[in-house]
Structure 1
Amino acid sequence: MAYDVIVIGSGPGGYVAAIRASQLGFKTAVVERENLGGICLNWGCIPTKALLKTAQVFEYTQHSKDYGITIGDAKVEFDAVIKRSRGVADKMSRGVQFLMKKNKIDVIMGTGKLKSKGQVEVTDKDGKATVYDAKHIILATGARARELPNLKIDGKNVIGYRQAMVLPAQPKSMIVVGSGAIGVEFAYFYATLGTKVTIVEFLPRIVPVEDEDISKELEKIYKKKGIEIMTNASVEAVESNGDGVKAKVKTQTGEITLEADVVLSAVGIAANIENIGLETLGVKTDKGRVLVDQYYQTNIPGVYAIGDMVPGQALAHVASKEGIVCVESIAYNEKKYAHKPATIDYMNIPGCTYCAPEIASVGYTEKAAREAGYEVKVGKFPFSASGKASAAGATEGFVKVIFDAKYGEWLGTHMIGANVTEIIAETVVARKLETTYQEVLDAIHPHPTMSESVKDAIEVAYGEAIHL
Structure 2
Amino acid sequence: MNYDVIIIGSGPGGYVAAIRASQLGLKTAIVERESLGGICLNWGCIPTKALLKSAQVFEYINHAAEYGIKTAEAEADFAAVIKRSRGVAEGMSKGVQFLMKKNKIDVVMGTGKVKPGNKVEVKGADGSTSELTAKNIILATGGRSKELPSVKQDGKKIIGYRQAMVLPEMPKSMVIVGSGAIGVEFAYFYATMGTKVTVVEFMENIVPVEDEDVSKQLLRSFKKVGIEVMTSSSVESVDTTGAGCKVQVKTAAGMQTIECDIVLSAAGVVANLENIGLEETGIKTEKGKVVVDEFYNTSVKGYYAIGDIVGGQALAHVASAEGIICVEKIAGQSPEPLDYNNIPGCTYCSPEIASVGYTEKAAKAAGYELKIGKFPFSASGKASAAGAKDGFIKMIYDAKYGELLGAHMIGANVTELIAEIVVARKLETTGHEMLKAVHPHPTMSEAIMEATADAYGEVIHL
Distance 1:353 1:80 in 2: 24
Amino acid at match of 1:380: K
Distance 1:281 1:133 in 2: 14
List aligned pairs for 1:249-260, cutoff 5 A. Answer: 249-260=249-260
Task: Give the equivalent residue in structure 2 for 1:352.
Answer: 346
1:62 shift after superposition? 1.1
Distance 2:100 2:89 in 1: 17
1:441 shift after superposition? 1.6
Task: Give the equivalent residue in structure 2 for 1:138.
Answer: 138
Corresponding residue SS for 1:416:
strand
Task: Give the equivalent residue in structure 2 for 1:460.
Answer: 454
Quick check: 1:74 aligned with 2:79? no
Equivalent residue in structure 2 for 1:388, among 361, 382, 393: 382
Distance 1:158 1:47 in 2: 21
Amino acid at match of 2:455: A
Distance 1:230 1:40 in 2: 29
Amino acid at match of 1:34: E
Corresponding residue SS for 1:199:
strand
Q: When the two structures are superposed, what TM-score results if normalisation uses the length of structure 2?
A: 0.99
Task: Give the equivalent residue in structure 2 for 1:326.
Answer: 326
Corresponding residue SS for 1:396:
coil
Distance 1:404 1:203 in 2: 28
Quick check: 1:401 aligned with 2:411? no
Equivalent residue in structure 1 for 2:437, among 443, 464, 468: 443
List aligned pairs for 1:51-62, cutoff 5 A. Answer: 51-62=51-62
Task: Give the equivalent residue in structure 1 for 2:264.
Answer: 264
Quick check: 1:25 aligned with 2:25? yes
Render the CA deviation track for 1:110-139: whole Å, top value 9, x for unaligned: 000012221000000011010001100000
Amino acid at match of 2:108: I
List aligned pairs for 1:134-213, cutoff 5 A. Answer: 134-213=134-213
1:444 shift after superposition? 1.2
Quick check: 1:246 aligned with 2:246? yes
Task: Give the equivalent residue in structure 2 for 1:219.
Answer: 219
Quick check: 1:91 aligned with 2:91? yes
Amino acid at match of 1:299: S
1:241 shift after superposition? 4.5
Quick check: 1:375 aligned with 2:392? no
Percent identity over paired residues? 71
Amino acid at match of 1:23: Q
Quick check: 1:341 aligned with 2:328? no
Distance 2:146 2:240 in 1: 21
1:380 shift after superposition? 0.3
Quick check: 1:63 aligned with 2:63? yes
Task: Give the equivalent residue in structure 2 for 1:421.
Answer: 415
Distance 1:276 1:467 in 2: 57
Corresponding residue SS for 1:258:
strand
Corresponding residue SS for 2:229:
strand
Corresponding residue SS for 2:331:
helix
Amino acid at match of 2:144: R
Gaps of 5+ in 1: none
Task: Give the equivalent residue in structure 1 for 2:296.
Answer: 296
Distance 2:116 2:185 in 1: 42
Render the CA deviation track for 1:215-272: whole Å, top value 9, x for unaligned: 0000011001000000111111101243210011111111111100010000011000
1:162 shift after superposition? 0.2
Corresponding residue SS for 1:217:
helix
Corresponding residue SS for 2:30:
strand
Distance 1:389 1:241 in 2: 48
Amino acid at match of 1:322: E
Corresponding residue SS for 1:439:
helix
Q: When the two structures are superposed, what TM-score results if normalisation uses the length of structure 1?
A: 0.98
1:150 shift after superposition? 1.4
Distance 2:131 2:46 in 1: 33
Further displaced range: 148-157 or 458-467 = 148-157
Render the CA deviation track for 1:33-60: whole Å, top value 9, x for unaligned: 0000000000000000000000000000
Corresponding residue SS for 1:49:
helix
Further displaced range: 131-140 or 240-249 = 240-249
Distance 1:133 1:155 in 2: 37
Corresponding residue SS for 1:66:
helix
Distance 1:67 1:303 in 2: 57
Corresponding residue SS for 1:74:
coil
1:204 shift after superposition? 0.6
